[in-house]
Amino acid sequence: MSRQPTRLIPTRATWCCVALTALAGALPTHSAAHTAPPSERRLRAMSQKIARLEQQLTSLQAQLRQLRSQDGRAAPGGPERPASPASTPAVPSALSLSGDARLRYEYTGDGDRHRNRGVLRARLAAEYRLDDRIDIGARLTTGDAGDPNSSDITLGNFVDDLEVSLDRAYARYRGSRGTALGGKFANPFTTRELVWDGDVNPQGVAASMALLRSQRARLQATALLSPIDEQIDADDSTLRGAQLELTLQPHHDWTLALASAYYDYEIGSLAAADRGDIRDNRLTADSSAYLSDFNLWDSVASAEYRGLGEHLPVRISLDYVTNLGAFDSQDSGYQLDFSLGDSQHAGDWRAGYTYARNDIDAVLAAFSQDNITYSSNYRMHGLTLEYLPVEDVVLNLTAFHYTRNRFQPGYGDDWGSWITRLRMNVSFRF
Look up the CATH architecture of domain 100-429: Beta Barrel (2.40)
pLDDT band of 82, cuts 50, 70, 90:
very low
pLDDT band of 88, cuts 50, 70, 90:
very low
For Cα atoms 108, 114, 119, give the angle at the middle one, nearest 5 degrees.
50
Range with lowest mean pLDDT among 88-97, 142-151, 224-233, 337-346: 88-97
| Predicted local distance difference test score (pLDDT) of residue 87 | 39
CB neighbour burial string for 351-361, b if at least 16 within 10 angstroms, e if fewer: ebebebbbbbb
Segment 178-201, tens digit of pLDDT = 999 999 999 999 999 999 999 999
**Rounded distance between C-alpha atoms, residue 39 and residue 46, angstroms:** 11
Please state the domain extents for the chain.
12-77, 100-429
Considering the chain, what is the average pLDDT of its residues? 85
Range with lowest mean pLDDT among 331-340, 383-392, 409-418: 409-418
pLDDT band of 413, cuts 50, 70, 90:
low
H/E element, 307: none
| Predicted local distance difference test score (pLDDT) of residue 4 | 45
Q: Long-range pairs for 177-182 at CB < 8 Å and ≥24 separation?
A: 177/209, 177/210, 178/207, 178/208, 178/209, 178/210, 178/220, 179/207, 179/208, 180/205, 180/206, 180/207, 181/205, 181/206, 181/207, 182/206
Partners of residue 162 on adjacent β-strands: none
**79-88 average pLDDT score:** 38
More confident residue, 283 or 10: 283
**Rounded distance between C-alpha atoms, residue 44 and residue 168, angstroms:** 72
Indicate if the pLDDT at residue 23 is higher than 70.
no
Contact (CB, 8 A) for 399 and 382: yes
Range with lowest mean pLDDT among 98-102, 303-307, 315-319, 410-414: 410-414
| Predicted local distance difference test score (pLDDT) of residue 412 | 60
Contact (CB, 8 A) for 66 and 72: no
Segment 317-372, tens digit of pLDDT = 999 999 999 999 999 999 999 999 999 999 999 999 999 999 999 999 999 999 99
DSSP 3: P
More confident residue, 241 or 413: 241
Mapping DSSP to helix (H, G, I), strand (E, B) and coil, where does residue 329 land? coil
Other CB atoms within 10 Å distance of the CB of residue 132: 7
DSSP string, 255-302: EEEEEEEEEEEE----TT--HHHHTTS-B-TTSSSBSS-EEEEEEEEE
What pTM does this model have?
0.76
